[in-house]
Amino acid sequence: MTTPDPSAPKTSNIDVRRGEPLVVITDVQKHYGDFQALRDIDLTVHRGEVVVVIGPSGSGKSTLCRTINRLETITSGTITIDGKELPKEGKGLAALRADVGMVFQSFNLFAHLTILENVTLGPIKVRKMKKADAEREAKVLLDRVGVGHQASKLPAQLSGGQQQRVAIARALAMNPKVMLFDEPTSALDPEMINEVLDVMVGLAQEGMTMIVVTHEMGFARKAADRVVFMADGQILEDQKPDDFFERPRTDRAKDFLSKLITH
Ligand SMILES: Nc1ncnc2c1ncn2[C@@H]1O[C@H](COP(=O)(O)OP(=O)(O)O)[C@@H](O)[C@H]1O
Ligand SMILES: [Mg+2]
């Protein structure tokens, strides 16, 4: 397999632009006490691929994201990032976590720090960058997500859509190998959803490897190489977006989509 050309447009022929396996999840089980939240999860995400994860509430989508950067432990199975298994703790874990950028539904910006400080904190503390270098790179990223002129403000002075774009810039500042998004637009007012999705589409087009939990079908159709459908902690379908939306194979997916399309 070859490394994808980041400037190449998205095509429906995913095999052409696929890179090497970057995130490899093998036979993962996850229990919370007696409750099994993830069941027999096998998922490989290749470098440059964009995978959208959808499914009903409680199906394990957030748990899956959280196990990938080890905010949650797994009961059994393996998860590797760029060929390395996730360490249980210590320096190796911090380094691997820095390889995985995460954007949550709630933006989790530090309220007492400026936008610029929010974005430079990780690079200075974890990546040990010089402050001046971190600030220069942060400004480029803030410009890229369209909030460069807000750098000296506090999070509360920004709209929700702007704060979420800062959260994306903050994750990108760590120079991650893969970006995880867990329902990044579901807490936003409707008029702010597109400005965040546009940034994500741009990232996808630049070749960022992305795992995105979202029910925004427009995003899935525009940017995703694959749609993974989860229910009851299992992956029931893994298809190209058009195939999934037009020809779902399982009754669970058909039922889910019929409810989604009506609003
Ligand atoms: N910390 C936890 N302790 C116990 N159960 C949990 C915990 N986190 C999630 N769960 C359960 O695991 C299931 C999957 O949750 P989650 O991954 O958040 O689903 P989704 O993101 O698809 O809505 C749900 O039934 C949820 O109640
Ligand atoms: Mg969730």
146: left (phi over 0), alpha (psi -120 to 50) or beta: left
* Residue recorded with tokens 């995105």: 212
**Residue among 30, 34, 41, 62 whose CB has most ligand 1 atoms within 8 A, to mutate:** 62
Cα(58) to centroid of ligand 1, in Å?
6
Of the candidates 143, 162, 214, which has an alpha carbon nearest to the alpha carbon of residue 185? 214
Ligand in nearest proximity to the CA of 33: 1
Indicate the pTM of the whole model.
0.91
Cross-strand partners of 85 = 80
Give the mean model confidence (pLDDT) for residues 208-233.
96
Q: What is the pLDDT of residues 108-132, one digit of tens each?
A: 899 999 999 999 999 999 889 999 9
Q: What is the pLDDT of residues 176-198, one digit of tens each?
A: 999 999 999 999 999 999 999 99
Cross-strand partners of 178 = 100, 209
CA–CA gap between residue 80 and residue 96 (Å, rounded): 10
Q: What is the pLDDT of residues 7-53, one digit of tens each?
A: 444 444 444 456 899 999 999 999 999 999 999 999 999 999 999 99
Residue 249 DSSP one-character state:
-
Strand order across the beta sheet in which 84-85 lies: 35-46, 21-32, 76-81, 84-85
pLDDT of 234 higher than 90: yes
